Amino acid sequence: MAASRDGVLPRYWHDFDAGIPLDARIDHVVDWMTAADGPRPGLVAVYLENVDRAGHDHGPHAPQTRAAIRAADAAVGSLLAHLDHAAMAERTNVVVVSDHGMADVAADHTWRSRTWPRWRKPRWSASVR
Ligand SMILES: [Zn+2]
């Protein structure tokens, strides 16, 4: 479900579904952006989670992560090619962002979050209140 802001919803959206291939996601937003009828969106956001997922699952320098980067790069390249073909490249800003970086961590410097102690509400002393 799309998030509303002050009761306003996006005109077009799809709920996130990791099962939809990256190229299908790109094709879909290109269809929105190049629609002959109806209003075209002024802002489009596409989530490509594959690099993040591969990095978390296999590490930032793993072959699986490199393959995910290649796939995401191909998806962005496909978007740019579609925009160029539709003569929209010159008037479209494409911004690629990431939610965080990643670094290799030695296995003996990790722990499972499920083993963390349960959070307890702090008990403030009278002088802190
Ligand atoms: Zn992440």
**Whole-prediction pTM value?**
0.78
Give 120 or 19, the one with higher predicted confidence.
19
Q: What's the rounded Cα separation, in Å, for the pair 21 and 30?
A: 14
Query: Is residue 82 predicted with pLDDT exceeding 90?
Result: yes
**Domain-embedded: residue 124:** no
Structural domain span for residue 59: 22-115
Distance 41 CA to ligand 1 centre (A): 28
Distance 59 CA to ligand 1 centre (A): 11
Distance 45 CA to ligand 1 centre (A): 18
Distance 87 CA to ligand 1 centre (A): 34
**Domain-embedded: residue 77:** yes
Distance 91 CA to ligand 1 centre (A): 31
Distance 19 CA to ligand 1 centre (A): 18
Distance 107 CA to ligand 1 centre (A): 18
Distance 111 CA to ligand 1 centre (A): 17
For 19-67, the pLDDT digits (tens) are: 999 999 999 999 999 998 878 898 999 999 999 999 999 999 999 999 9
**What angle (nearest 5°) sits at the alpha carbon of residue 39, between those of residues 87 and 30?**
45
Tokens of 63: 């072959």
Q: What's the rounded Cα separation, in Å, for the pair 80 and 36?
A: 19
**Domain-embedded: residue 128:** no
Distance 53 CA to ligand 1 centre (A): 7
Q: What's the rounded Cα separation, in Å, for the pair 122 and 129?
A: 12
**Domain-embedded: residue 13:** no
Indicate the number of domains in the chain. 1
CB 94 within 8 A of CB 76: yes
